[in-house]
Amino acid sequence: MDKATEILTGSRKIVLKIGSNVLAGADGSMDTDVVEDIAAQVVALREEGKQVVMVSSGAEVSGVNAVGAWSRHGDMNYKQAMCAVGQVELMMAYKKHFAKHGAIVAQLLLTRANFRDRNTTLHIRNTLFTLLDEGVVPIINENDSVSIDEFDSGDNDRLAALTSNLWNADLLILMSDIEGVYDKSPKEHEGAKLIGEVTDIGALRRVIDTGGKSSFGSGGMGSKIDAAEAVAEHGAALLLVCGKSRGVLTRIAGGEQSGTIFVPGGRYS
């Protein structure tokens, strides 16, 4: 059995992070077919007895799409305003597509500062447990309208890792617009090879280029490896997959090899 299949099927508590580029179409508008596919996969995981907490980017993309303009893309205040608009659009899309499967969603807007306060983290944890006990799908996003952490540090990858550790998740899944970790950039090198399993993160850092950011997201490979290292220290695995590949989690659960799995218990520095 492939290691990713083994870990996915054996995990009960899963945090699923959705990157902006997964949700964005070629023109920057929201790809509702992808949202529907994600909803179907999450519902399928829940039907297998797993609990799923989502961390979703995409508010900025959704806001720009709703307003129909991107006239001040370099202005931080404008970005934050677009996120305020887009968060509504994003949650409406999730609500619509999860409702098709009889599932209810809930929104939690957080910042990294929330995880530094013990009382606040206790309330976050209790809210997550209560929502999950009631069969609700929690969807977390960075509170971009009041925080600039996401714009400066690379997407919600770190927020997803913090959530995973707080909730004691077994597995963090990062859905990106890439297939996984390659030994070199597949966009620049035709012979780039996908690395299916990573046990030594320190060695990985030394041999691959962790730079580069995508069109609609702010996180590069470095932030994903940082997230893998963070959850590994708490005994959880991280699976990096292409969220634009329809039914990817269902196919991995069925034994298909896809993505890159970071296995806990190895070396991380």
Comparing C-alpha atoms, which of 34, 29, 40 is closest to residue 176?
Answer: 34
Predicted TM-score of the model (pTM): 0.90
Question: Domain with 234 in it: what CATH number?
Answer: 3.40.1160.10
Confidence of residue 269 (pLDDT cuts 50, 70, 90): very low
d(CA 149, CA 123): 21
Distances (CA, A) of 137 to 47, 114, 132, 155: 13, 20, 7, 21
Domain encompassing residue 101? 3-267
Cα 248 to Cα 252: distance, rounded to the nearest angstrom: 6
Give per-residue pLDDT as tens, 27-72. 777 889 999 999 999 999 999 999 999 999 887 777 777 777 665 6
Structural domain count of the chain: 1
pLDDT in tens, 133-183: 999 999 998 887 776 654 444 468 999 999 999 999 999 999 998 889 988
Q: Is residue 113 scored above 80 in pLDDT?
A: yes
